[in-house]
Amino acid sequence: MRTLLVESEVGLGTTVRAALEREGHDVVTCTDADGGPCRSIAAPGECPMEAHTDLAVLVTSRRGPRNLSEMGAVCAQRRRVPSIQVDPATVGDDFPSLASRATIAVRLTEASYAQAVRKHLPIGAAEVAVVRSPRKVTVHLGGFADDVDAQRKAFLVDKAREAVRLFDPHVAVIDVVAER
């Protein structure tokens, strides 16, 4: 899993990074080791958001106002990357709770895609499910009434694809499957 690590202070995410790497995550950051500016300022192609990211983890030990060090979390939100916030004091041997929170964040993100599709569709598709994977969002439409013909299904597929593109203009591939 490719994971973006965003720290509110340099070095705050060391424990979280170690836990993620032990679990096999490919951990990337928006800044250099010194917490320097956004990588894309000097080299636009260096932004980790230019490639698929499975999860963003914001490491902060305070509940106060946000700061510019956390800008990567904003970029992740704009790219519809599932995100969680972690207090580094709570990570250690309790990594499974972090993993379960990540799973919930992924499901909530997929549900937000499905909600965007449902809002965009006229009546005709009773069920909408979405799976987000590297470079692709797959929408499953189902529960069609018996009187929905192939032309109507094609129209609904196009509307679903349009809804995903409006919701997430950065997704590379949108697959829509019309199931019975």
- Sorted by where each starts, the structural domains of the chain and their CATH numbers stand as 2-92 (3.40.50), 109-178 (3.30.70.1350)
Q: Is residue 47 a contact partner of residue 38, using CB atoms and an 8 Å limit?
A: yes
**Could you tell me the sign of the dihedral formed by the alpha carbons of 62, 3, 172, 154, in that order?**
negative
Please give the DSSP secondary-structure letter assigned to residue 87. -
pLDDT grade, residue 93 (50/70/90)? low
Is the pLDDT at 128 greater than 70, yes or no? yes
Residue 29 is predicted with a pLDDT of 92
Residue 96 is predicted with a pLDDT of 64
Closest CA to 168 of 109, 126, 108: 109
Residue 92 is predicted with a pLDDT of 67
Is the pLDDT at 131 greater than 90, yes or no? yes
The C-alpha atoms of residue 9 and residue 58 are separated, in whole angstroms, by 10
Q: Which residues of 140-156 are buried (b: 16+ CB within 10 A; e: fewer)?
A: bbeebeeebeeebbeeb
In angstroms, the first-to-last Cα distance of the chain is: 32
**E strands within 26-98?**
26-29, 55-59, 83-86
CA-derived radius of gyration, the chain: 19
pLDDT digits (tens, 9 = 90+) for 14-70: 888 988 898 889 999 998 777 777 888 878 788 889 888 999 999 987 766 778 888
Residue 124 is predicted with a pLDDT of 56
Find all residues with CB under 8 Å of 152, minimum gap 6, and list them. 124
Residue 84 is predicted with a pLDDT of 92
The C-alpha atoms of residue 145 and residue 142 are separated, in whole angstroms, by 9
- What average pLDDT does the segment 110-136 reach? 89
